[in-house]
Structure 1
Amino acid sequence: MLQVLRHPTYAKLFGAQVIALLGTGLLTVALGLLAFDIAGENAGLVLGVAMAIKMIAYVGVAPVVNAVVGSLPAKPVLIFADVVRAGVAVFLPFVDAEWQIYLLIFLLQSASATFTPTFQAVIPEVLPDEGDYTRALSLSRLAYDLEAVVSPMLAAALLTVISYNNLFIGTIIGFIGSAALVVWAHFPGVDAPEQAPFRERVTRGARIFWRNAELRGLLGLNLVVSTMTAMVIVNTVVIVRGTLGRDEDDVALLLAAYGVGSMIVAFALPGVLQRSSDLRVMFFGALFLPAALLATAAILTFAEGTASWISLLVVWIVSGATTSMVLTPSSRLLRRGSSPANRSAVFAAQFSLSHACYLLTYPLAGIAGARLGLAPVALILVGVAVVGLGFAAIAWSRH
């Protein structure tokens, strides 16, 4: 997998991704502490609203920004987005009201909605060989999973010697470092897309998705992935602390189990995809996710004591692994279903449409879980996942 880092341009871009991820991880920790300082016991509400704003920015901003900057070279777009993110982070230590958090988060995540799809669309041009591209996708998945583990540990170590406001300095350094590596990288030339009216440019990626059967099926699998992800992200702490009555350390352990499953698959996928098709691997992985939700509901209803804890660890590992089976190859579909001229529009559409699924399942997992209970909400999410699977099966029936 690491041999792909022999490509000098990709090595710089991967370094930019890793540094920016670490900065974002420090931001997540510092933002939670800032919210508690401002809102006290209502910090959860503040962070919930901030998460909703983040998703709205991802869903609404990505296609619009792509329509505006899609004809521009990728390098200045990426640099500008990183500079904006660093500039927004400069103001975060001075926030003293909730509305300021919301405004700055919207600006920062809007810049991220500009950076991420543009970055993802550049990688296929930097790595035209499909084997190299597949290894890069697995390496990227591994970076995301490691960040989820390393950033909190790094933040905890730093908090022993500095105040949480100084963590934002790490965020600023991360985005500036990312911009510097992008400046240093050499980008291949890509033909600009044909000029078209603004509304057509905004909807270009979504229209390509709908015309392409592989990408249409990916829409359904985005929904499937969002169901189990929402259960993990929103309700892990509730399950561990509330239902099982275990310590705070076990919250981190259960989340780490999810990440471990994902990392195992990230290592194995390049070899697997040489022997099996993307669609088969992705659909096989997606089948396990509603099954994992059913298992979660059964464990929460019937299992007790140590058995319930061990069972959940296994389910979270399997869920992380099968989620990675769906997400890692998805960019290969995006690459196949696009041309260099419209690739940024297609990646922006995937970024926006996938996060639209989270905008549905995150509130569902949280609100329904609080009102109906965790086992019932897991069953509701199973129903949503089955709808996504059915949609993908119909779209991919000819394949």
Structure 2
Amino acid sequence: MIAILNNPTFRALFAAQVIALVGTGLLTVGLGLLAYDLAGERAGVVLGLALTLKMVAYVGLSPVAQAVATRLPRKGVLVGADAVRALVALCLPFVSEVWQIYVLIFVLQSASATFTPAFQATIPDVLPDEAEYTRALSLSRLAYDLENLLSPAFAALLLTLVGYSWLFVGTVLGFVVSGLLVLLAAVPPLGADAGQRPFRERLTRGIRIYLATPRLRGLWALNLAASAVGAFVLVNTVVLVRSGYGGDERSLALAMAAFGAGSMGAALILPRLLERMADRPVMMGGAQGLVVVALIMGALISFGGLPGWTVFLLVWAMIGFLYASVLTPSGRLLRRSAHAEDRPAVFAAQFALSHACWLVTYPTAGWAAQGLGMGGALVLLGLMALLGVVVARVVWPAGLKREIVHEHPDLPSDHPHLRAHGGRRHAHVFVIDDEHRVWPTQG
């Protein structure tokens, strides 16, 4: 896996990702402390609304930002988004009112909604070999999990030396260094045709390709399954550990570390596993495992109380492993489902639609825990995950071939596509594009 860092462009981009993640981790800790200073006991409400604004920016602005950015140089978009994030973080130490937090976080997350899909769509162009790209996805998964584990510890260390406002300075430095690394990297440009389409088509093209492709419709349903169980872990672990087990901050850190360790274990195993198995059975298996674990654990909590601490940690590690098994291969599906010039739009569609799932499951996890108890909430979210698995199995049937026999009754007989493939009826690797606007239902 580490061998792909020999590619200098990917090495620079991966370093940019890691450094930006560390900056984001410091921002998360600093923002919580800032909210408490400004709102006291209402800090949770402030942070909850800030997270909601983050999801609204991700869902609503990502396709719009991508449609606008298509006409701009790819490197300029990435560096510009990092510059905006750095400027916003630089403003945070001077915030004196709660509403200022909301405005700044919305602007920062809007920049992230521009940066992240564009960055993700760049990596397949840097690593065109599928095996190398799979290793890159696993390495990115490891980076996210390590950031979740190490950034809070790094922030705690800094807080023993300086005030929390300096955490925002660390965030600024993270985004500045990230932008410099992207600026120095040999980022491949977008295809010339991508920016020539009308704005309305650029705005909707990614969603249209996504929803017309069976494997991507299945991916959206599997995103729901993963986010349902994942939301329970991220929202309710603190309550389970502190109230259920009587644990302290270290116990909470250990529980989240177990979840992260399971996810990292999957990231290490998946590259070799995906050399032997197709994406669908791996992702379906992970999602089905999440359903089984959530329903069994929810029933046990409802009727028998919390299990022992060691069992709880093992279950959280298992959930982390299954969660990563669903999400890590998703980039392979996106890469396979669009031409290079359409990948930014498709990655932006995935970014928006997957976060739409979180926009539903995050509040559900919180409200259900209050109304149904922890066991009932986990069962409810397990049933949401089951719904996602059932929908995925229906809309993404097993055995779909990459090369599909199909016809083109709508194209003129002298069309270049027909000449290139030997007539109206032919077979090739099928993706949705200008010549293939719907998925063939039969050969």
TM over 0.5: yes
Tell me which residue corresponds to 1:77.
77
Larger radius of gyration: 2
Of 252-261 and 295-304, more deviation after overlay is shown by: 295-304
The yes-or-no answer on 1:106 pairing with 2:106 is yes
Tell me which residue corresponds to 1:266.
267
- Give the TM-score normalised by the residue count of structure 1: 0.97
Tell me which residue corresponds to 2:221.
220
Tell me which residue corresponds to 1:283.
284
- Give the TM-score normalised by the residue count of structure 2: 0.88
Alpha-carbon distance in 1 for matches of 2:233, 2:55: 17
* Offset, 1:195: 2.8
* Offset, 1:97: 1.1
Tell me which residue corresponds to 2:293.
292
Q: Deviations over 1:317-365 (max 9, x none)?
A: 0110011111111000000001111100000000000000000000000
Q: RMSD in angstroms over aligned alpha carbons?
A: 1.2
**2:79 aligns to what SS in structure 1?**
helix
Alpha-carbon distance in 2 for matches of 1:381, 1:4: 37
Tell me which residue corresponds to 1:349.
349
Tell me which residue corresponds to 2:413.
none
The yes-or-no answer on 1:364 pairing with 2:364 is yes
Tell me which residue corresponds to 2:42.
42
Conserved in 2, the CA contact under 8 Å of 1:299 and 1:312? no
Of 80-89 and 361-370, more deviation after overlay is shown by: 361-370
Tell me which residue corresponds to 2:127.
127
Change (3 A) 1:302 1:371: closer
- After TM superposition, the structure 1 = structure 2 runs for residues 5-20 of structure 1, keeping only pairs within 5 Å, are 5-20=5-20
Conserved in 2, the CA contact under 8 Å of 1:295 and 1:315? no
**2:362 aligns to what SS in structure 1?**
helix
* Offset, 1:279: 0.9
Q: Deviations over 1:32-83 (max 9, x none)?
A: 0000001111111111111101000000010011111123221000000000
Counterpart AA for 2:133: Y
Tell me which residue corresponds to 2:253.
252
Alpha-carbon distance in 1 for matches of 2:204, 2:360: 21
Conserved in 1, the CA contact under 8 Å of 2:266 and 2:325? yes
Alpha-carbon distance in 2 for matches of 1:227, 1:64: 26
Alpha-carbon distance in 2 for matches of 1:126, 1:282: 25
* Offset, 1:194: 5.5
Conserved in 2, the CA contact under 8 Å of 1:258 and 1:317? yes
- After TM superposition, the structure 1 = structure 2 runs for residues 298-377 of structure 1, keeping only pairs within 5 Å, are 298-303=299-304, 307-377=307-377
Higher RCO, Cα 8 Å, sep 6+: 1
Alpha-carbon distance in 2 for matches of 1:194, 1:19: 30
Conserved in 2, the CA contact under 8 Å of 1:299 and 1:308? no
* Offset, 1:303: 4.3
Counterpart AA for 2:116: T
Tell me which residue corresponds to 1:209.
210
Conserved in 2, the CA contact under 8 Å of 1:23 and 1:173? yes
**1:21 aligns to what SS in structure 2?**
helix
Alpha-carbon distance in 2 for matches of 1:252, 1:299: 24
Of 49-58 and 187-196, more deviation after overlay is shown by: 187-196
Tell me which residue corresponds to 1:3.
3
**2:397 aligns to what SS in structure 1?**
coil
Alpha-carbon distance in 2 for matches of 1:32, 1:300: 30
Alpha-carbon distance in 2 for matches of 1:331, 1:205: 14
**2:246 aligns to what SS in structure 1?**
coil
Tell me which residue corresponds to 2:408.
none
* Offset, 1:379: 1.4
Change (3 A) 1:207 1:201: same
Alpha-carbon distance in 1 for matches of 2:42, 2:195: 49
* Offset, 1:301: 2.5
**2:196 aligns to what SS in structure 1?**
coil
Conserved in 1, the CA contact under 8 Å of 2:302 and 2:376? no
Of 225-234 and 195-204, more deviation after overlay is shown by: 195-204
Alpha-carbon distance in 1 for matches of 2:274, 2:67: 33
Conserved in 2, the CA contact under 8 Å of 1:299 and 1:311? no
* Structure with higher helix content: 1
The yes-or-no answer on 1:159 pairing with 2:159 is yes
Alpha-carbon distance in 1 for matches of 2:302, 2:119: 44
* Offset, 1:217: 0.5
Runs ≥4 residues deviating over 6 A: none
Change (3 A) 1:295 1:309: farther
Alpha-carbon distance in 2 for matches of 1:329, 1:149: 22
Tell me which residue corresponds to 1:55.
55
How many percent of aligned residue pairs carry the same amino acid?
55
Q: Which runs of 5+ in 2 are unaligned?
A: 400-443
Tell me which residue corresponds to 2:68.
68
In the alignment of these two chains, the number of paired residues is 398
* Offset, 1:23: 0.2
Q: Which runs of 5+ in 1 are unaligned?
A: none
Counterpart AA for 2:280: L
Tell me which residue corresponds to 1:142.
142
Conserved in 2, the CA contact under 8 Å of 1:285 and 1:322? yes
Conserved in 2, the CA contact under 8 Å of 1:300 and 1:308? no
